[in-house]
């Protein structure tokens, strides 16, 4: 496997709570990984540590073999903007911006001129079924459409890894399935690794691998043939 992202021996403590208790994890190019587990098991902590948002107390996070946990804050946030895409549960689009500018925002933050950034972000609108919605504001989009704009935004930077935190948590079952199919398809197409937290086994089944977390540890690892 061509490993894109690895977490090795990750630990994280909050007071006396061991949120991560020695987690090893690897994701390859175009590979998708679902993290499942009961509430409080450490899923979000693991996602945030892997994404360089929370620093681990012990262990390492490596992006293509480079330690990211030892980078200073500025370098780490630049690395996050350039190499990572994020899809959250909902409500993360800016209400005053049209869909195409929302999707182009990470590129603009990287200094790409508005026109070019919008052009690059718009490449994802047709494959994601968003054609014709470029100028709509988030309030004029359905929940599923808004999540597809969030996917376009995550992919616009051509990331190495897409992190998704309950990306279908606010959607009905049919829309969830559509969104998850598009998300896994787009990541495979671009070779981006996908790391997704979900409590929904049907959504996890769209990923190549599923890690089950319990009390900050991986309790088991299952592999699916893609459905």
Residue 147 contacts ligand ADP per CB under 6 A: no
The residues near 85 (Cβ < 8 Å, ≥ 6 apart) are 106, 153, 154, 155, 156, 157, 159, 161, 162, 163, 192
For 17-134, where are the alpha helices, taking DSSP H only? 43-50, 73-83, 99-109, 114-122
Residue 145 contacts ligand ADP per CB under 6 A: no
Give least dist CB 45 to ligand ADP, A: 3
Hey, what's the torsion of the CAs at 19, 21, 24, 30, to 10 degrees?
Answer: -10
- Site mask, ligand ADP, residues 45-84, x = CB under 6 A? x---------------------------------------
Give least dist CB 37 to ligand ADP, A: 5
- Site mask, ligand ADP, residues 6-45, x = CB under 6 A? --------x--x-x-----------------x-xxxxxxx
Distance between CA 221 and CA 204 in Å, rounded?
Answer: 12
Give least dist CB 52 to ligand ADP, A: 16
Residues that bind ligand ADP (CB under 6 A): 14, 17, 19, 37, 39-45
């Amino acid at each position: 496997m061509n490993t894109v992202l690895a977490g090795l021996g990750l630990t994280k403590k909050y007071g006396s709570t061991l949120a991560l208790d020695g987690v090893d994890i690897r994701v390859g190019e175009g590979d998708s990984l679902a993290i499942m587990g009961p509430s409080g098991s450490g899923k979000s902590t693991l996602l945030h540590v892997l994404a360089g948002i929370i620093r681990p107390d012990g262990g390492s996070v490596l992006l293509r073999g480079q330690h990211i946990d030892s980078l200073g804050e500025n370098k780490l946030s630049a690395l996050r903007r350039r190499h990572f895409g994020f899809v959250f549960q909902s409500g993360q689009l800016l209400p005053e911006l049209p869909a195409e500018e929302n999707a182009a925002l990470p590129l603009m933050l990287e200094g790409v001129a508005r026109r070019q950034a919008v052009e690059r972000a718009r490449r994802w609108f047709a494959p994601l079924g968003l054609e014709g919605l470029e100028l709509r504001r988030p309030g004029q989009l359905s929940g599923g459409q808004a999540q597809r704009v969030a996917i376009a935004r995550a992919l616009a930077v051509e990331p190495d890894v897409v992190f998704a935190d309950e990306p279908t948590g606010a959607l009905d079952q049919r829309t969830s399935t559509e969104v998850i199919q598009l998300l896994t398809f787009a990541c495979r197409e671009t070779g981006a690794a996908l790391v997704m937290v979900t409590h929904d086994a049907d959504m996890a089944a769209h990923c190549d691998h599923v890690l089950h977390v319990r009390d900050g540890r991986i309790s088991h690892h299952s592999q699916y043939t893609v459905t």
